[in-house]
Structure 1
């Protein structure tokens, strides 16, 4: 009479054992998540060679769905390993060069997902990350205060193994076969242990490996602070209050957090700024004159002009500078660099892209006094960008300079302020003909060619230089200008005869732009 009871007990035990076996099998299966924004070569090699019973693959990118990462996070996908494939040259996003795809993955979005606990599955349980993109683990900072390597380490906190490239990475069609050869050695993917065979397989390129930061890492506090500005669980007012705390603290850390601070300040729109608690937090920040002056003094010590003015732009954004005060800070910076004879392309670019305010004419006088003492073109180019007519004339005359550095500064200036005055074009064309050095003539002609000369008299002046040119390089530079011009104003038949009669023998004997111009003239 105990048999049914024993039978039922056995059935229950058997079911429990089956459930345990099933759970163990499920637990033993590793999930490999893939984010394929460009080449699928690497992903397909992993899928082809990893045993299906041991590994499950989940592609997180959903085509034509912009919020695919948020979708994956909401689905609570649990990833043991993550493979990201995409171009990463600039360090701001993974992107594609395919016309058929539009998906991309920004570093900012990854940081938000990592910091907000809104994506616990994708990021929380990772043992390994594979980043197939250029400069993903580049150790030197470029446009960011943190290097790509450090930013990636912050995103993948506590991940034991992160593979990437410190400089150029091979394209997918080349990386795929290398990955395949490595996978044929039957490695354990998702173990959380560095695989030396993988590093050896990519020994000819820049593959490297690093762990994500941990709470014991010296940068742990920096990451925690950066996360507070993008943590979805904090209100804008709380973030402004924290911003105030940060600005009162270590200013070196402020510089390291510069990008996060800027991104946060830019994300707070006018509507949010007028919300009572947020407005009160900004008002408290604006009243803190001691912290303001300390920050501005620190910003003025930045050795690079873009970094200095970036900090000043942030000060304006949070209410510490008015637009005219920020302009004054720019002129102060530029005046200091003029005094040190340290003006270059960056300063010219910055001057040419700034918006002039109504009071800038009088503010320019002290700067102009210093500039007109200089013997170099770069300070004049910066001043000319700000609207000084005398400085502009000085830069235009420098097109015919024998100094290669001066010509380079002229080229930078003219990218922002192209020549539009016909008389200036004629003056430049005439002065080029009087230059004694062929090398300098070529540089001047190349600079002029970028201005797309259309004035008939200027074109005729340039054509008249051809017979007297002392080198074939000068003649080629002349032809490069004329070939894009309206040949009807030059007398096509006469110009073709002049070119054939006076062209110098080419040292390489091949066809060049002069031949091309002659054919165009004869066809016309």
Structure 2
């Protein structure tokens, strides 16, 4: 493939005549090739050359295209697109993916000036690629921070609204930043059609309108008309006077690989010297960069000096920490504390104190959400904070599943027992909290797992019982005593949802514990006729028959 691609490139870029007459269509086929094949079918070979940028089983394929000085007139990207801002495939045997951050790096770096320099059109066949909804939530903490800085309520509200418009970083904004000055960017404002369906629509378009508009740098009204019911929209890349120009400058300060680490630190410092409300919306990028500051890079004199410059800026430090302590979400606060530690504003003990203060405030609340429990367990995944919150717990808090789960994340054995009781609670909120807790602190002791299994079997509500069993299924059941409890529950329950959930547990269990003649006999004898098709009970029976 590499040889064929190189020959194509030679033909395209070494021949002046070919260069004058032909356009290069670059394709990035992450998932379906249907759209690419349709373009190939209708674009005449004497006018268009196709170059597939993805090289299978090569991680740096985009870098390879840069090295070979590929220059695209048209870019076609096909792949699923969603949370995480990445194009990806749903095929298990294909690991290719394309993060938008990598496109930003290419767009911002002088190391690859040719790839997108001559782009006239971009076709983005993926969900939400041109969704205008802001990805960053402009919460009340931002409004409060402007007020703290002395703004009037009206001015604070205006600035907050302006930030949302200019710094929300919708998918559409990110694409416009990447494809700066490109005349036409096509993408979907919401869910996109699957490749095969998109190909059918493209066929209709090319058959009715031809391929004359491709590569001309003008919006095709016919193409938008054909995809109207599927939400295709067209925009243009950011221009010099665009309201997003300042944001692009910030994005490129993180993405430009020609900048040294020390230069990036200085850029981050300047960003953090602005109103904290503005730098808060770049927290994802700041946090990601801070995590790259390993011990080796910190030992470099120029990096150490840049960190020292930030550490000495106590004015910015105080504003930043005041914002962090006022954050609406504990997760945001914890992340900001982590960044403060990384840039020298907090030493290890101060970071610990800030986190404990945050979790103490969490314990002081009337109720604790499952996400807060997950955060507490994550912050103490190494056990360094074990026992640190015991002195902050108030009488009666140990009776709350949420509060108990937080204390259990901090290493309390007594609180763990109480948190596990939430799994068999009739209260949905307690069950959700227990689910969050067990994702981070699963049951590994056989006696404890058997006790929890017995408690689930004794529950009254079928819906809650099935949900609890689904949580149990995430544990590798290898205890014959637990299997026996579930077998007895299967025989007596009148609820097919419970039987189905039991089968789900046993399908994931150790085959040596579940593959017993009594289990198969019980499944066959007591299987409810009301079970829908495609259920886990039938799947378990088939597996046990083969064992």
Report TM bin, short chain. 0.7 to 0.9
CA distance in 2, matches of 1:126, 1:495: 64
CA 1:406–1:24 in 2, change beyond 3 Å: closer, same or farther?
Answer: same
Q: What corresponds to 1:77 in structure 2? A: 70
Say whether the 8 Å CA contact 2:186–2:234 is kept in structure 1. Answer: yes
1:136 maps to what in 2? 129
The superposition leaves residues 23-71 of structure 1 with CA deviations (integer Å, 9 ceiling, x where unpaired) of 8995454332222333332222222212334433333334455443334
Contact 1:128 1:162 in 2 (8 A): yes
**8 Å contact kept, 2:476–2:510:** no
Is 2:410 the counterpart of 1:417?
A: no
- Tell me the alpha carbon deviations over residues 123-170 of structure 1, each in whole angstroms, 9 at most, x when there is no partner: 222221111122222333558962222211111112221111233322
Shift of the 279–506 alpha-carbon distance from structure 1 to 2, 3 Å rule, reads same
Determine which of 287, 291, 308 is the counterpart of 1:262. Answer: 287
Partner of 1:283: 308
Q: 1:404 aligns with which of 428, 433, 443?
A: 428
For residue 10 of structure 1, what is the aligned residue in structure 2?
A: none
Greater CA deviation, 122-131 or 375-384?
Answer: 375-384
Task: Flag the 1:200–1:505 CA change in 2: closer, same or farther, 3 A.
Answer: same
Check the 8 A contact 2:116/2:179 in 1, yes or no. yes
- Judged with a 3 Å threshold, the aligned counterparts in structure 2 of structure 1 residues 25 and 274 are, in CA distance, closer, same or farther, namely closer
Distance verdict in 2 for CA 1:123–1:366, change over 3 Å? farther
1:173 to 185, 196, 208: 196
Q: Compute the displacement of 1:336 (Å).
A: 2.9
Measure how far apart 1:391 and its partner are. 1.3
Matches within 5 A, 1:463-474: 463-465=487-489, 468-469=492-493, 471-474=495-498
Farther-moved stretch of structure 1 (117-126 vs 288-297): 117-126
The normalised TM-score by structure 1 is 0.82
Q: Secondary structure at the match of 1:82?
A: strand
Q: Report SS of the residue matched to 1:435.
A: coil
Q: Which residue of 2 aligns with 1:7?
A: none
Q: Contact between 2:478 and 2:513, CA under 8 Å: does it hold in 1?
A: no
Size of the alignment, in residue pairs? 501
> Separation in 2 of the partners of 1:106 and 1:334?
34
Supply the distance in 2 between the matched residues of 1:53 and 1:510 (Cα, whole angstroms): 54
Cα deviation for residue 283 of structure 1 reads: 1.0
- SS of the residue corresponding to residue 122 of structure 1 reads coil
3-state DSSP class of the match of 1:215? coil
Q: Displacement, 1:445?
A: 3.7
Structure 2 vs 1, CA of residues 455 and 357 (structure 1 numbering), >3 Å: closer, same or farther?
closer
Aligned partner of 1:30 in structure 2 is: 23
Write out aligned runs for 1:190-269 (5 A): 190-269=215-294
Give the alignment's Cα RMSD to 1 decimal.
3.6
Deviation per residue, 1:161-205 (Å, 9 max, x gap): 111123332232222222222122124112222222212222232
Q: What is the deviation of 1:482?
A: 5.8
Distance in 2, Cα, partners of 1:135 & 1:209: 13
Query: Could you tell me how far 1:381 is from its partner in structure 2?
Result: 1.8
What is the TM-score with the length of structure 2 in the denominator?
A: 0.79
Please identify the structure whose Cα radius of gyration is greater.
1
Quick one: structure 1 residues 295 and 484, their matched pair in 2 at CA, closer, same or farther if it must change by over 3 Å? Answer: closer
- Structure 1 position 379 matched with structure 2 position 372: no
User: Which residues of structure 1 form unaligned runs of 5+?
Assistant: 1-21
Deviations along 1:342-364, whole A, 9 cap, x unmatched? Answer: 53232222222234677634531
Distance 2:174 2:424 in 1: 46
Matches within 5 A, 1:126-165: 126-142=119-135, 146-165=169-188
- Per-residue deviation, 1:88: 2.3
* Contact 1:31–1:79, Cα closer than 8 Å, also in 2: yes
Quick check: 1:135–1:169 contact (8 Å CA) kept in 2?
yes
User: For residues 206 and 399 of structure 1, what CA distance do their matches in structure 2 show?
Assistant: 43
Instruction: Determine helix, strand or coil for the equivalent of 1:123.
Output: coil
Alpha-carbon deviation of 1:101? 5.0
Q: Gaps spanning 5+ residues in structure 2: where?
A: 1-14, 138-167
Residue of structure 2 equivalent to 1:60: 53
Which residue of structure 2 lines up, in the alignment, with residue 314 of structure 1? 339
Among 425, 429, 452, the residue aligned to 1:428: 452
Candidates 110, 114, 117, aligned match of 1:121: 114
Q: Deviations over 1:255-304 (max 9, x none)?
A: 22223323333334433322222221111111222211211211233323
Taking the aligned partners of 2:215 and 2:352, their CA distance within structure 1 comes to 53
For 1:33 and 1:483, locate their aligned partners in 2 and report how far apart those are by CA, in whole Å.
46
